[in-house]
Amino acid sequence: MFKKILVANRGEIAVRVLRACREMGIKSVAVYSEADRESLHVRAADEAVCIGPAPSRESYLNMASVLAAAKITGAEAIHPGYGFLSENEDFAEACAQAGVVFIGPKPDAIRTLGYKSEAKALAKKAHVPIVPGTDGLVRGDVLKEARAIGLPVMIKAAAGGGGKGLRLAKTEDELKTQLLTAQSEAKAAFGDDAVYLERYLGHPRHVEIQIAADGRGNAVAFPERDCTVQRRNQKLIEESPSPALDSKMRREMQEAAVRLARESGYSNVGTVEFLVQDGQFYFIEVNTRLQVEHPVTESVTGLDLVQAQILIASGEKLPFDQARAAEIRAWSMEHRINAEDPEHNFAPCPGKIEALRLPGGPGVRLETHLYAGYTVPSHYDSLLAKLVLFAPTRPEVLARSRRALSEFEIAGIRTTIGFHQKVLAHPDFIGGDFDTHLSEKILETTHDRDAQERHPAAAA
């Protein structure tokens, strides 16, 4: 087992990993940028090293600086969290060359599964259903390719995810413009403008399967997470189990995810993402890292995924089998609270936290790095906290969510707390019958109501 681990991340996920290290009796090292000098993860670690200025490319994405911090502190392993270097195969290789264990998949698996077109080909080989689309990257006549699939089509960046390089082309006239936009976004985000096309599914659910494998041939799949409530292709609410799945589809999706893990030689934890529509599920991508929403799976199963990551990376076998991993012991829901203004297209809202009141009580788990007086920097992701609720049934989780959100107060900046309350009040969400357009529907209703309140005569 490792004696010291460096956490190559910031914010709430860095705090989460540091807590796992402390419970396992492992010394920890935090790295931080100059903008994060007062961040909570710096205080939570046994040691802390400044690795550069505020911009990510000069700090958290600077592989040489991160590895130098590991060397000078004697860290034997690096946990990358999510984002930043977590899915960078070059960093995984650099760790190996430096004699430091990368707590994540092998570089080859990151490279193959992280490149979406290759992941689709591998999924097809493993007999995992895929969304109809181009056979590889778009290199020739894009209009011909789109006509063969059938418009509308989704244009997707081959090298990454997170909603970047993702565009919908509804007509042939839109195709060229949206293709150029997607390629430009992909180039800026991933340094690669390669894209491919998929048939557009008009009313899907976004459902994912958490996997874990130990490199010894053992691979398991956990209960699904429903991540359908999104804005701009970014998740807002996740829950498990999904109200859209029955036990048969759950089992089939778990088996498909395990087949893909075995086919790719995967090790450590990861997530296989699917779209579900009209009683069918389709593979879309693999996230070769720990997910933001991993606490949902932990709450449902009672297992610790971060500790499992560390055990696997240290050479131990999976600490649980498929039967244990698949147990559903509760219903859980996660609300991502962001420093954003939903009334202005979820624009980022950094600033100083003037006052803070945190929710608590039975069945409430809060992952955050906030404290009163902390200044949310403008340089990074807008995630402030993950409010995770768990209870025996979905209605109880909904009631607990409403209660906990009503207790959650963040003064000084705009947040998405109010938007989450609107989602919880929407009849489609309460009934469990919704798709990825729910957020748009709620925003349109809100804007129409606000306009009517401001100008009742004109609205009439």
Judge whether residue 460 has pLDDT over 50: no
Same domain as 425, residue 335: yes
d(Cα 335, Cα 385) in Å, to the nearest integer?
8
Domain holding 140, by residue range, is 132-199
Whole-number pLDDT of residue 452? 53
d(Cα 267, Cα 138) in Å, to the nearest integer?
30
What mean pLDDT comes out for the span 276-291?
96
Q: Which of 10-24, 99-113, 131-145, 246-260 has the lowest mean pLDDT?
A: 131-145
Q: What percent of the chain has pLDDT over 70?
A: 96
Same domain as 313, residue 224: yes
Judge whether residue 244 has pLDDT over 70: yes
Q: Enter the DSSP assignment of 327.
A: -
Same domain as 190, residue 228: no
Q: How many CA atoms lie within 13 A of 327 on its CB side?
A: 11
Query: Domain boundary at 178, 199, 220, which?
Result: 199
Beta bridge partners of 357: 409
Same domain as 33, residue 176: no
Residues 47-91 have pLDDT tens digits of: 999 999 999 999 999 999 999 999 999 999 999 999 999 999 999
Residues 403-420 have pLDDT tens digits of: 999 999 999 999 999 999
Helices assigned H by DSSP within 342-437: 394-407, 417-425, 427-431
What total of structural domains would you count in the chain? Answer: 3
As a residue count, the chain comes to 460
| 72 domain residue, yes or no | yes
| 458 domain residue, yes or no | no
Judge whether residue 143 has pLDDT over 50: yes
Residues 6+ apart with CB under 8 A from 97: none
Residues 14-25 have pLDDT tens digits of: 999 999 999 999
166, two tokens = 């993702």
Report in angstroms the alpha-carbon separations of 264 from 59, 89, 213, 429: 32, 15, 11, 36
Whole-number pLDDT of residue 190? 86
| 444 domain residue, yes or no | yes
- Single out the catalytic residue among 16, 111, 205, 289: 289
Q: Name residue 453's amino acid.
A: E
| 383 domain residue, yes or no | yes
Q: How many CA atoms lie within 13 A of 90 on its CB side?
A: 5
| 142 domain residue, yes or no | yes
Beta bridge partners of 270: 211
State the CATH number of the domain containing residue 155. Answer: 3.30.1490.20
d(Cα 347, Cα 415) in Å, to the nearest integer?
10
Same domain as 212, residue 150: no
Same domain as 367, residue 291: yes
Same domain as 431, residue 285: yes
289 catalytic? Reply is yes
| Global confidence as pTM | 0.91
Judge whether residue 97 has pLDDT over 90: yes
pLDDT band for position 135 (cuts 50, 70, 90):
confident
Same domain as 233, residue 307: yes
Query: Domain boundary at 103, 119, 142, which?
Result: 103
Same domain as 423, residue 324: yes
Same domain as 348, residue 219: yes
Same domain as 432, residue 362: yes
Whole-number pLDDT of residue 173? 93
Instruction: Provide the strand spans (E) within 128-279.
Output: 153-157, 166-169, 195-199, 205-214, 219-221, 225-231, 234-240, 267-277
Residues 194-229 have pLDDT tens digits of: 999 999 999 999 999 999 999 888 999 999 999 999
| 287 domain residue, yes or no | yes
State the CATH number of the domain containing residue 341. Answer: 3.30.470.20
Residues 425-439 have pLDDT tens digits of: 999 999 999 999 999
Asked whether 313 and 268 are in contact (CB, 8 A), the reply is yes
Q: Which helix (H) or strand (E) holds 104?
A: none
Cα-to-chain-centroid distance, residue 131: 21
